[in-house]
Structure 1
Amino acid sequence: MKKIVFALWLGLLAACGAVQAADAGPSVTDGRGRVITLPRVPQRIVTLLPSLTESVCALDQCQRLVGVDRYSNAPAFVRGLPQVGGGLDPSIEAIVALKPDVVLLAVSSRASARLEALGIPVVALEPKTHVDVRRVLGQIATLLGLPTSSADRLWREIDAGVLAAAQSLPERAHGMRVYFEVSRGPYAAGESSFIGETLTRLGARNVVPASLGPFPRLNPEFVVRADPDVIMIGNRSMQSMVPYPGWQSMRAMKTGNVCVFGPEISDVVVRPGPRMAEAARAMAECLVEKSAKRQPGKAE
């Protein structure tokens, strides 16, 4: 009899464990290396990084967003949502008022500790490479309670778009040496960044080596010495090219081989997310235009 009772007790414990497992929410390991397990699939989400906002919407879950940072402006739906300030240092009060189930933000955001102290779950995700983008899409899909196949399908579409942009380039555009500025400083997109990886896939050569990191701040003299064939400016605050001391001597400046992307395209090219194929097309168009000045068979 005791054996039967013991067996029933074990079975009850197992059943309780199964129920608890079934009731548990999604779990991911975020960019800080922390395992975050939510009590349930989130229905109210605040995003504090434009690429994360776009990723949620690209997975067809825009309706779960209840607030965004001031720079999230795509797709059009999010422009009508409450803004909670900057991504790095947002208004904590504004976020709390929205009663989110989870806040998605950058690893570098200073808001994490304060939000967690108030009992608001935080997931830090900050993609910097193509591999990161693919992983983050999968993590967001998991948080949203979606099958991983939805993120895989989205990544395949992005990757195919980047490949198509690369295949559209004529031979003369290959091998051009490019300097890409993401922010005044100058802060550059290095070889190891998602922008640098896209340029490599387009057949361009980045003058900022991977050894300097994804987005290093450079001495302007570094760029002068590198003397790139093409300069791309993806900083949306720079509507006209404001040269640094000595830059007028560079061949790209002398020949007009400078692509200053407008505000909308700048947003696209500097965000590691669903619109990377569109970014690749914009960079490819720049390379095609500037390579038209090259003499056939002559490397610059």
Structure 2
Amino acid sequence: MKRLLVACVLVCLNLAAQALEVTDDRGVVVRWNTPPQRIVSLLPSLTESLCELGQCHKLVAVDRYSNWPAQIATLPRVGGGLDPNIEAIVALKPDVVLLAHSSRAIARLESLGLKVVALEPKTHADVQRVLGKVAAVAGLDAAAAQTVWRHIDAAVSAAAQSLPPQARRTRVYFEVNRAPYAAGTSSFIGETLTRLGVANIVPAALGPFPKLNPEFVVRANPDLIMVGARNAEGLTARPGWHTVRAVRERRLCIFPNEASDVLVRPGPRMAEAARLMAQCLQEKAP
């Protein structure tokens, strides 16, 4: 009887040691007895973060926009963050669903008994923090996330150091969507531009990704425009934009779709994003 009691105590202690909890961006504490082994990700940056931490094998499905790294190509697609296929997700019996804090699917998924962790990085500090949260969900210690972040941070610094002094005086407009929505100074894209030493024409006071009146860009008259190919059509033909220095002097970096995905996702590929921006500045800055 004594041996049985000791064995039970040891089992309980082992389970307690394995149990984990994560507080997501809603302030909700999510708990598991053992680290999740079946994960659905509904946000590309979270998919990429999990894989960069070496945990791609735990993914059982991703959203339609997740397209990196290559090993996720054969995974089931379960819609987008705004319109996920709830039935398909439930059928996969995930231990957790990773998605954006802004997703409207959270309440529905939780009502069906699924554990949800809502994370939405918007700044460099957020990316570092979210890496830690994703690592915790996967059952990794904090050191794994810190190692990934140090590599990102060092690579962004290296990209900045690669630029000649004259490039650092460039005034840049970065368009993320043709509405037009811009990357403001307070966004993760804006923070990368700041670390590269250039000036963002969109001030922090307007928010991270403000919708602009196109006349704002005309008045700001940037030296260089960065935009993805998906959103570049008709940009130079907007009223008054022919007078903008970047348009007049053909100082536009139009990034192909694959590079654009890298640039607009706040995750482990921010280092590559910094290199792409630095290359643009080296080639196009006045």
- State the TM-score bracket (shorter-chain normalisation): over 0.9
Give the alignment's Cα RMSD to 1 decimal.
Answer: 2.0
Distance 2:17 2:88 in 1: 33
Letter aligned with residue 238 of structure 1: N
Residue 136 (1) aligns with residue 163 (2): no
* Aligned 8 A contact 2:38 2:94 in 1: yes
Deviation, 1:15, is: 8.6
Matched-pair contact (CA < 8 Å) for 2:15–2:34:
no
1:242 pairs with 2:235? yes
Tell me which of 39, 43, 52 is aligned to 2:46. Answer: 52
Name the larger-Rg structure: 1
Q: Alpha-carbon deviations, 1:182-219, whole Å to 9, x = none?
A: 11211111001110000001011001111111111111
| Unpaired segments ≥5 residues, structure 1 | 1-13, 295-300
1:239 and 1:219 mapped to 2: Cα distance?
17
CA distance in 1, matches of 2:10, 2:74: 46
TM-superposed CA distance for 1:23, in Å, is 5.0
Aligned to 2:213: 219
Q: 2:75 aligns with which of 70, 81, 91?
A: 81
- 1:254 and 2:248 matched: yes
Normalised by the length of structure 1, the TM-score is 0.89
Cα distance in 1, alignment partners of residues 208 and 202 from structure 2: 9
What is the aligned partner in structure 2 of residue 7 from structure 1?
none
Measured in 2, the distance between the counterparts of 1:106 and 1:65 equals 16
TM-score normalized by the length of structure 2: 0.93
Distance 1:96 1:252 in 2: 49
Displacement of 1:40: 2.4
**Within 5 A, what are the aligned runs for 1:37-186?**
37-186=31-180
Q: Deviations over 1:218-277 (max 9, x none)?
A: 11111111111111003x523545333221221110000111110000000000111111
Please give the residue correspondences for 1:14-29 in structure 2 after superposition, counting only pairs within 5 Å. Answer: 18=13, 21-22=16-17, 24=19, 26-29=20-23
Residue 284, structure 1, aligned to residue 278, structure 2: yes
Q: CA deviation at 1:19?
A: 6.0
Q: In structure 1, give the amino acid aligned to 2:165.
A: E
Q: 1:212 to 1:103 in 2, by over 3 A?
A: same
Are 1:30 and 2:24 counterparts? yes
Output one character per residue of 1:8-30: Cα deviation in whole Å (capped at 9) or x when no partner: xxxxxx99985663353x21111
The answer to whether the Cα contact below 8 Å between 2:18 and 2:35 also exists between their aligned partners in 1 is: no
Q: Which secondary structure does the structure 1 equivalent of 2:175 belong to?
A: strand
The change in CA–CA distance for 1:17 and 1:62 in structure 2 (over 3 A counts) is closer
Give the equivalent residue in structure 1 for 2:5.
none
How many residue pairs end up in the alignment?
A: 280
Deviation at 1:110, TM superposition (A): 0.8
8 Å CA contact 1:103–1:123 kept in 2: the answer is: yes
Query: Secondary structure at 2:273's aligned position in 1?
Result: helix
Q: Is the 8 A contact 1:32 1:107 kept in 2?
A: yes
Q: Percent identity?
A: 65
Secondary structure (helix, strand or coil) at the match of 2:160 reads helix
Taking the aligned partners of 1:112 and 1:128, their CA distance within structure 2 comes to 19
Distance 2:161 2:83 in 1: 41
Is the contact between residue 38 and residue 121 of structure 1 (CA under 8 Å) also seen in structure 2? no
Aligned twin of 1:203: 197
